[in-house]
Amino acid sequence: AQSVTQLDSHVSVSEGTPVLLRCNYSSSYSPSLFWYVQHPNKGLQLLLKYTSAATLVKGINGFEAEFKKSETSFHLTKPSAHMSDAAEYFCVVSEAWRALTFGSGTRLQVQP
């Protein structure tokens, strides 16, 4: 069975400082992994995806994530936070033919 755990429900950073949003997953197979972002009153937008190619995945808006099989982790990072990054972020795992399984979300606050 697949599952995903987002280790922090809230993260607060100052503008211009690095962002780290942590995600651990459990999967019986080689999964696909995604990060989505949700801005207030909006649907989810894909940031990046891992599908067994390069383990370091680059996404939109300067975000990237590294797939570490030995640690079953897929943490999301950004070198320098911007005010517009304030949103909720979801880590998502998917195995063959199964539904997407969403983490519970991490709310990112960016302080001026």
Partner 1 sequence: EAQVTQNPRYLITVTGKKLTVTCSQNMNHEYMSWYRQDPGLGLRQIYYSMNVEVTDKGDVPEGYKVSRKEKRNFPLILESPSPNQTSLYFCASSLSRSRTGRDLPQHFGDGTRLSIL
- Which residues, including other chains, have CB under 8 Å from residue 86's CB and lie 6 or more apart? 108, 109, 110
Q: How far is the CB of 91 from partner 1 (least distance, A)?
A: 9
Quote the CA–CA distance of 47 and 61 in Å, as a whole number. Answer: 8
Q: How far is the CB of 95 from partner 1 (least distance, A)?
A: 5
Quote the CA–CA distance of 8 and 43 in Å, as a whole number. Answer: 21
Nearer to partner 1, 15 or 44 (CB): 44
Token pair belonging to 21: 């949003």
Nearer to partner 1, 13 or 47 (CB): 47
Q: How many CB atoms lie within 10 A of CB 17?
A: 12
Beta bridge partners of 101: 93
Q: How far is the CB of 80 from partner 1 (least distance, A)?
A: 25
Quote the CA–CA distance of 5 and 51 in Å, as a whole number. Answer: 19
- Contact residues for partner 1 (CB under 8 A)? 9, 29-32, 34, 36, 41-46, 49, 51-52, 90, 94-100, 102-105
Nearer to partner 1, 85 or 103 (CB): 103
Nearer to partner 1, 1 or 112 (CB): 1
Q: How far is the CB of 89 from partner 1 (least distance, A)?
A: 11
